[in-house]
Amino acid sequence: MITSISQSPLYPIANPKTIAFFGASNNFSAMGSSILNSILSEGFEGTIYPVHPREKRVLNLTAYSDVKDIPEAADLAFIVLPTKIVAQTLKACGEKGIRHAVIVSAGFNEVGGEGVERQKELQEIARHYNIRFTGPNCIGVVNSHLKLNATFLPAEGKTGFIGMASQSGSFITQMFSYLNSRFGQGFSTGFSLGNEANIDMVDCIEYLGACPDTRVIALYIESIRQGQKFIEIARRVSTQKPIVAFYAGGSETGKRACLSHTGSLAGPDRLYDGVFKQSGIIRAQSIEELFDFCYALGSSPLPRGNRVIIQTHSGGPGAAAADACERSGLELPQLSSETLEKLTPFIPHTGSANNPIDLTYTKNPLDFFHGIPKVLLEEKGADGMLIYFLATVEMVHQILTAMGVPEAEIDTQMEMIVDSQCQSIISLIKTHEKPVIGFSFLTRNNRFIATLQDKGVPVMASPERAARAFGAMAEYRRLREKIVQQEDQP
Amino acid sequence: MITSISQSPLYPIANPKTIAFFGASNNFSAMGSSILNSILSEGFEGTIYPVHPREKRVLNLTAYSDVKDIPEAADLAFIVLPTKIVAQTLKACGEKGIRHAVIVSAGFNEVGGEGVERQKELQEIARHYNIRFTGPNCIGVVNSHLKLNATFLPAEGKTGFIGMASQSGSFITQMFSYLNSRFGQGFSTGFSLGNEANIDMVDCIEYLGACPDTRVIALYIESIRQGQKFIEIARRVSTQKPIVAFYAGGSETGKRACLSHTGSLAGPDRLYDGVFKQSGIIRAQSIEELFDFCYALGSSPLPRGNRVIIQTHSGGPGAAAADACERSGLELPQLSSETLEKLTPFIPHTGSANNPIDLTYTKNPLDFFHGIPKVLLEEKGADGMLIYFLATVEMVHQILTAMGVPEAEIDTQMEMIVDSQCQSIISLIKTHEKPVIGFSFLTRNNRFIATLQDKGVPVMASPERAARAFGAMAEYRRLREKIVQQEDQP
C-alpha cells in the first residue's frame, strides 16, 4: 500500500501542474468548453494547453492545433472529444510523453457492442504507452485544495474533509452545492471513475487513504470489479480513516440501471454487505445517508460505545430520536445518581431527567448550551450525546422586538448570543472528547445552525438522521477494532 | 361522522372570534407572553381579552383582573398558567360560560403522581361545565388561513394544504419553517394535543377530514387511546383524503420516551402497523418522510398503479432512484416500441432508453422539460414519472458569463428560461393526470427548484425520498380501493 499520495497513479490526475485539454472550443455550450470554463473560473494556478484543430485561441488561452506542438509533455491529458477520435488522441498523447489522462468522452463499454471494442483499444494504447487514466464515460476530477474543478458544473462550495470516489460523476459535480448548503462542507478530492477501464475504485481508496486533506472517504458504488483487492486495500485504509459506501446495484432494478449506466455487472445485496463488513466499510442506505455519515465521522471524536444521552427541550423530537436510536443499535442509559443530583437544579418540574433529558421550557436558555450538556458529558455511563436545537434565536428575537428594542441593537445582541452559545458547546466537546451530534429541522439559512456547523458541531437534518449517524460512528469503531484485533493475531 | 367542521368541538378552538387569554404579562420571556405575542404579530383579526391579576395592560391590550369581568363569554379560553391554578381557572371559565379551552400548562399525567389527580380534576370540571379542551401539556393551535398562530414560535411560513394533529407540540410550532424551507408549504390547521385529557386525535382526524383547506392529514402519534374509534373514523376519512402517520413508540426506547413525554403507554410496532393498514393510513418511518409523503400526496394526482418511468440526465441519481423504487414496491417497466420510436430523436448515442431514461448531456436542454416527458407521460404501460432536476440553470449562467453577456441581461434570460421550463412541466402534468415527482439535491435557495415547487411540481430532496413518496402514493391508492371494496360488500 502507498504511504504518500505522490506514489499513486492518481497523483498527477488530482494534482496536475500542466494540462493538455482536448475538446474545449469557443462554442460555449459544448461539454468540453464548460469543463475548461469551470477550471478557469475556479482560479486553477497551473498551466493549460488547449488543443484544437482550427481555433487559435480557446477561452482566451493560446490553443495548439496538435498535441505534439505543445511546449512540454503535460502532467495530464483531459479528453472531452467525440467517441471516435478518443483512441487516436490518447495515442498522440502517448507519443508526446504524456502519462496520465482523464477521459470524459462516453460511448464505450456502457453502450455495449462496438463500444466494448473501443474500450479495449483504449486499454491497449494505455498499456503500450504506460498511460494511467480515469474513465472513459467519467465526469472529471476535483481537488478543492488546489482550486481544481475539472467538471462541467461550477463548484459552489468550499474545501472540505470528504474524499470521494464515485462510479457516477453526478455525485462529484452535483454534490458541491449539496454539501455546502447542508453542512457548509465540501470535498477534499473527488474522483469520477466512469467505466474504470484503467484506474479503478481501489486506486482511489488507496489515494484518499494517504491524502492528508481527507478525513473520511465516501464511495458511490455500482459494482466492484476486483473483489479481493478491494477488500484487502479497504481493510487497511479503514483502520486509518473511516470509509462509507452507498451501493446502488442491490435490487434487480438497481442492477439493470447500473448496467445501462456504466456497463457494470452488479451483485446481490447480501454479497456486498459481506464485502463491506469484511473491509471495515460502513454501508449507507441512501445518498443522503452517505454524506450524513461522512460529515459526522469527519467532524467528531468516535464514541467508545453505543450509549447515548439525548438532550432536548421538545418531547416529540426527543421521542423520535430515542426510537431511532434503538433502531440504529444504540442504547439510552439511565443517568447515574451522581449525574441526576447535578442535573436537578436545571430541570423544571414539567421536564424529565429520564433519558431523553427533556428540559421543556427552561428558565435560563443558556443552561441548555453549557450547564446541562456539561453535566451530561461528565456521565461515565454514556459515550456521547444527541442535542436538539430549535429556533431559540427566533424566540429571543421576537421577545426583543415586542419589548421595543431597535432592530440594529437586536442584531448585535443576537450575534453575541449565537456566538456565546456555539462557543460554549464547542469547548465542552473539546474538553470531554465525546461525540456530540446536533439535530434540528432548521437549515443553514438560520444563523445559529450555520455558526454551529462552521465551528465544528455536526448538526443533522432530523432526529432519525442524527441517531443513524451516531450509530454509524459506533459501528465504525466496532468494525475497526475487530479488524485491528484480527490483524494482530499471529 | 361530521360533515362540516362547524360540527366539531375543535371548531371554536381553530376558528375563535374571541379569546380569553390567561398567562400573558409584560414579562416578555414568559411562555404565555410569547404565545400572545405570536398571535398578535401574525395579525389575528379576532378579539383578545388578556386576564391578569395585577397588570392593567398586557402587550398593549386592555387586561382584566378576573375572567368574570371580560365583556362576553369568549369562544375560547387559552390557558398558560402555573400548574396549580389551572383547575380553578378552568372552573372560572366554566362559570363565565366559556365552553372551549386550550390548556398549555404542563405538570399533569406526564409527570405521574399528583399530576394524575390534577388531570382528573380538569376532566371533572370540563364534564360539569360542558367544556371541550385540548391539552394539558400542549403547545397550542394554528390556523394559517385565519392568521391564527397560537404557539410560542413565530410562524415563518405560509398557508398550506397539510392538516396536522400531533401528540408533540414541537411538530406544530417547529415545522412551519421546515415546510416553508423545504417545500414552500405550510399547515392548513395544526393541533397540538398534549395529554389528550378531553379532545383527542380522533376528534382531530374528524375535523381535518371535513376541513376544506386540508388536502392531506399528518399525524404524529405516541399512542392511540381509543383504538376502535380511531380505526372507525380514520377508515372513513381516508377514503376521502390521505392520512399519513409517524409513530414514535414502536421500539422499547421509543416507548419509554413517550411515557415521560405525554404519559402515554405506547404499543408494539406490529400492532400499530395493523391499525394503520386497517385504517387506510400510510405509515412514515421518519419525521422527514411524514412530511415528504404529505407534500407529494397533496400536490399530485394519484398513480393508477405502481409502474414508474425515471427520467434523468445523470446516471447515478437515476440508478439510486431505480434501486429505491424496487425497495418501495414500484416497478420500472420497459418502454413500448411505440414510445421508443417517438423517443429516438431525443436520445444521444451515449444515453439510454432503458428505464431509467438517461439523456446524459442533451443537445437541447429544453427537450428535457417538454418533448421527452411528453412522450414518457403518453406511455400507456406506466403510471407516472420521477424526474431528476440538476443545476442546468447554473450551467447556462456559467456559459453566458463566459460569453461575456452582462449580468443583468443574464438575470432576465435566466428568469425566462426557468419560467418556461417550469410552465412546460406543469402543462404536461395537467394534460396527462399522472403524478410527476421531481427530485434534486438542490434546495429552494435555487430559483429553479423554488419555482417548480411554487407552481405545484413536488420536488423531493433525494432519489430515495422521491421513490418512497411515489411508493406511498401507490400504496394509498391500493389501501383506499381495498377499503371502498370492503365497505361496498353487503
Q: What's the pLDDT score for residue A199?
A: 97
Span A141-167, pLDDT tens digits:
999 989 999 988 877 668 899 999 999
Mark whether B425 and B470 lie in a shared domain.
yes
Q: Is the pLDDT of residue A67 over 90?
A: yes
Mark whether B277 and B383 lie in a shared domain.
no
Which of residues 373 through 432 in chain B touch A, CB cutoff 8 A? 390-391, 394-395, 397-403
Mark whether A312 and A233 lie in a shared domain.
no
- Segment A8-30 shows an average pLDDT of 95
Q: Which residue from A489, A475, A473, A3 is spatially nearest to A237, judged by alpha carbons?
A: A3
In a domain, A484, yes or no: no
CA B455 to chain centre: 18
Mark whether A233 and A307 lie in a shared domain.
no
Q: What's the pLDDT score for residue A381?
A: 96
Q: What's the pLDDT score for residue A157?
A: 62
Mark whether A78 and A205 lie in a shared domain.
yes
Closest chain B residue by Cα to residue A365: B29
In a domain, B489, yes or no: no
Mark whether A171 and A62 lie in a shared domain.
yes
Please state the domain count of chain A.
Answer: 2
Q: Is the pLDDT of residue B113 over 70?
A: yes
Q: Closest approach of chain B CAs to the CA of A193, in angstroms?
A: 12
Mark whether A429 and A454 lie in a shared domain.
yes
Give residue B362's pLDDT band: very low, low, confident or very high (50, 70, 90): low
Mark whether B292 and B309 lie in a shared domain.
no
Partners of B223 on chain A (C-beta within 8 Å) are: none
Residues A97/A73, Cβ–Cβ less than 8 Å: yes
Give residue B354's pLDDT band: very low, low, confident or very high (50, 70, 90): confident
Q: Is the pLDDT of residue B360 over 80?
A: no
Closest chain B residue by Cα to residue A181: B443
Mark whether A236 and A136 lie in a shared domain.
yes
Give residue B157's pLDDT band: very low, low, confident or very high (50, 70, 90): low
Q: What's the pLDDT score for residue A28?
A: 82
In a domain, B483, yes or no: no
Is B461 in the A-facing interface, judged by CB distances under 8 Å? yes
Q: Is the pLDDT of residue A81 over 80?
A: yes
Question: End-to-end distance of chain A based on CA atoms, in angstroms?
Answer: 21
Picking from A36, A109, A178, A261 by the largest number of B CB atoms within 10 A of its own CB, the best residue to mutate is: A261
Last residue of a domain, one of A271, A297, A323: A297
Which of residues 224 through 243 in chain A touch B, CB cutoff 8 A? none
Q: Is the pLDDT of residue A254 over 90?
A: no
Q: What's the pLDDT score for residue A42?
A: 86
Span A276-332, pLDDT tens digits:
999 999 999 999 999 999 999 999 999 999 999 999 988 899 999 999 999 999 999
Q: What's the pLDDT score for residue A226?
A: 85
Task: Return d(Cα A141, Cα A210) in angstroms, integer.
Answer: 17
In a domain, B375, yes or no: yes
Is B316 in the A-facing interface, judged by CB distances under 8 Å? yes
Q: What's the pLDDT score for residue B405?
A: 85
Kindly state the helix (H) or strand (E) to which residue B350 belongs, with its residue range. none
- The identity of residue A61, as a single letter, is L
Task: Return d(Cα B388, Cα B440) in angstroms, integer.
Answer: 6
What are phi and psi for residue B312, nearest 5 degrees?
A: -145, 160
Strand partners, B283: B245
In a domain, B487, yes or no: no
Q: Is the pLDDT of residue B277 over 80?
A: yes
In a domain, B490, yes or no: no
Q: What CATH number is associated with residue B392? A: 3.40.50.261
Decide which of B490 and B101 is more confident.
Answer: B101
Residues A147/A298, Cβ–Cβ less than 8 Å: no
pTM: 0.94
Mark whether A291 and A341 lie in a shared domain.
no
Picking from B260, B332, B464 by the largest number of A CB atoms within 10 A of its own CB, the best residue to mutate is: B260
Kindly state the helix (H) or strand (E) to which residue A162 belongs, with its residue range. strand A162-166
CA atoms within 13 A on the CB side of A48: 25
C-alpha dist (Å) from residue B7 to A339, B145, B211, B469: 51, 19, 11, 33
Q: Is the pLDDT of residue B110 over 70?
A: yes
- Segment A73-92 shows an average pLDDT of 97
A399 and B174 within 8 Å at the Cβ level: the answer is no
Written as one string, the DSSP assignment of A182-214 is: HHS--EEEEEE-TT-SSS-HHHHHHHHHH-TT-
Task: Return d(Cα A140, Cα A150) in angstroms, integer.
Answer: 5
- All 3 cell numbers of residue B442? 438542490
Is A449 in the B-facing interface, judged by CB distances under 8 Å? no
- The identity of residue B391, as a single letter, is A
pLDDT over 70, % of chain A: 95
Partners of A399 on chain B (C-beta within 8 Å) are: 28-29, 33-34, 37
- The identity of residue A407, as a single letter, is E
Written as one string, the DSSP assignment of A285-330 is: SSHHHHHHHHHHHHHSPPPSSSBEEEEES-HHHHHHHHHHHHHTT-
A287 and B156 within 8 Å at the Cβ level: the answer is no
Evaluate the omega torsion of the peptide bond into residue A303 and state whether it is cis, within 30 degrees of 0.
no
How do beta strands B308-312 and B357-358 pair?
Answer: parallel
In a domain, B484, yes or no: no
Is A127 in the B-facing interface, judged by CB distances under 8 Å? no
Is B332 in the A-facing interface, judged by CB distances under 8 Å? yes
Last residue of a domain, one of B297, B316, B341: B297
Task: Return d(Cα B238, Cα B209) in angstroms, integer.
Answer: 8
Choose the closest CB to B316 out of A170, A319, A400: A170
Mark whether B115 and B136 lie in a shared domain.
yes
Structural domain of residue B403, as residue ranges? 302-476
Phi-psi region of A89 (alpha: psi -120 to 50; beta: other; left: phi over 0): alpha
B398 and A38 within 8 Å at the Cβ level: the answer is yes
Is B61 in the A-facing interface, judged by CB distances under 8 Å? no
Which of residues 133 through 172 in chain B touch A, CB cutoff 8 A? 137, 152-154, 156, 166-171
- Segment B267-276 shows an average pLDDT of 88
CA B463 to chain centre: 21
- All 3 cell numbers of residue B409? 441581461
Choose the closest CB to B253 out of A175, A254, A325: A325
What are phi and psi for residue B197, nearest 5 degrees?
A: -70, -20
DSSP 8-state assignment for residue B216? E
Mark whether B352 and B415 lie in a shared domain.
yes
Last residue of a domain, one of B234, B265, B297: B297
In a domain, A490, yes or no: no
- The identity of residue B275, as a single letter, is V
- Segment B317-338 shows an average pLDDT of 94
Q: Is the pLDDT of residue B399 over 80?
A: no
For the purposes of burial, counting CB atoms within 10 Å of the CB of A5, is it exposed (0-12), middle (13-18) or buried (19 or more)? buried
- Segment A208-236 shows an average pLDDT of 95
- The identity of residue B489, as a single letter, is Q
Q: What's the pLDDT score for residue B268?
A: 83
Q: What's the pLDDT score for residue B374?
A: 93
Partners of B287 on chain A (C-beta within 8 Å) are: 317, 320, 441, 462-464
The three-state (H, E, C) secondary structure of A54-103, written as one string = CCCEECCEECECCHHHCCCCCCEEEECCCHHHHHHHHHHHHHHCCCEEEE
Q: What's the pLDDT score for residue A251?
A: 79
Give residue A410's pLDDT band: very low, low, confident or very high (50, 70, 90): confident
Kindly state the helix (H) or strand (E) to which residue A161 belongs, with its residue range. none
